[in-house]
Structure 1
């Protein structure tokens, strides 16, 4: 797992109003917690965390610098504004470098399947893989090569090649991707019904006999 540094400050306030003013000033509120660690309300610079996420993703191991202390942490949860998508709160979890942790990592597909080149349809079913490992052994993402897949092929969790230091939690039989045959809609031509002209029966006026 890649490791980077991020500066943070403790905060002593909460509440909707103060936190909104904090966000408008370019900072993001968060919390630091972990095993045998009292939760701490913190603040990080918006530009710093956005740069970190753009460069390394959410799976990166972070040295969180808080005052004179350094905490090895992972990002546990990010809350975003439902309309703008901006980060409004972030949770950091302090990890032990000697204890295994369970995390969900994004699955990144590499290559274009042979079956897709021939008209097949790629169906991506599993987007995250749950694993357990030491923090130093956790990759930022799970890369999966799918270029060899033909029409009708499926790739399951058990087909993903990982280090023997990583334990996969998901079911080995769960499908990650599949290449489906193209769907061909056959238009059935209904036999043209012969239109029958309605028989017109004209009745003449009956001549009244005198």
Structure 2
């Protein structure tokens, strides 16, 4: 488990009560957004697009702080970043206010670490996120699971193989989900192994056809030359 530092501070600007047109905000190199939660009115903000792109990893997976203009520092978590469907450029961002003394629910990413050297194998990560409940300051940036423990085809790892502080973090999973495989070591399918060979054979076949075509063209050219003579 990787602990979030909780010290990141992100500066944003207020859009007042009217907010302004989103199109005009984006023309200035910013993106619109808002902060909601704790039964308070939603606050409309704008953020520099470049800073959102630069600090995206700081937003994901835990607690941080947002400062509107030069005002108070607000503890928040990332609720959502809306993206353009084609370019994946951030279009809108939403932060959720949190009470540091109240537990919240969040999805935490799962990351595989270590190396697995079993030949002709394929590693499948069944779930790339796990739902948890914890105080905002105890939310981890990610869960790590060590795949070097896998030594044979057919072996698997479960949530029990993740090291985390159970006194601070509660996994929101059923008994069945807790016991289900989280990582599977599978045998590489025959077609996946043979694919490069087939590609080589296809290339060789194409080369032979190309050579035959070139020879036919050369013969035709020779015959045309003889007729001309």
Whether these two folds match at TM > 0.5 is yes
Q: 2:9 — aligned with what?
A: 5
State the alpha-carbon separation in 1 of the partners of residues 67 and 99 from structure 2: 16
Distance 1:61 1:24 in 2: 30
Matched ranges for 1:155-174 at <5 A: 155-164=157-166, 165-170=168-173, 171-174=177-180
**Among candidates 44, 49, 74, match of residue 47 of structure 2:** 44
- Where structure 1 has 5 or more consecutive residues not aligned to the other structure, the ranges are 186-210
Instruction: State the 1:114 CA deviation.
Output: 3.5
Q: Are 2:82 and 1:84 aligned?
A: no
Q: Distance in 1 between matches of 2:18 and 2:85?
A: 24
Cα drift, residue 173 of structure 1 = 2.1
Shift of 1:14: 5.2
Answer yes or no: is the 8 Å Cα contact 1:32–1:92 preserved in 2.
Answer: yes
SS in 2 for 1:136: helix
* Kept in 2: contact 1:61–1:72 (CA 8 A): yes
CA apart distance, 1:81: 0.4
Contact preservation (8 Å) 2:59, 2:77: no
Structure 2 distance, partners of 1:40, 1:82, is 26
TM-score (norm 1): 0.79
2: CA distance, partners of 1:110 / 1:57: 22
- Aligned ranges 1:1-210 → 2 under 5 Å: 1-3=4-6, 4-11=8-15, 12-13=17-18, 18-54=21-57, 56=58, 58-67=60-69, 68-115=71-118, 118-150=119-151, 151-164=153-166, 165-170=168-173, 171-184=177-190
Match of 1:190 in 2: none
> How many residues were matched structurally?
180
Q: Supply the RMSD in Å over aligned alpha carbons.
A: 1.8
**2:59, 2:78 within 8 Å by CA — same for their partners in 1?**
no
Larger Rg belongs to:
1
Task: Pick the structure with more helix per residue.
Answer: 2
Moved over 3 A (4+): 12-15
**Counterpart residue number, 1:201:** none
In the TM superposition, residue 182 of structure 1 has moved relative to its aligned partner by: 2.7
Q: Would you say the 8 A contact 1:131–1:166 is kept in 2?
A: yes
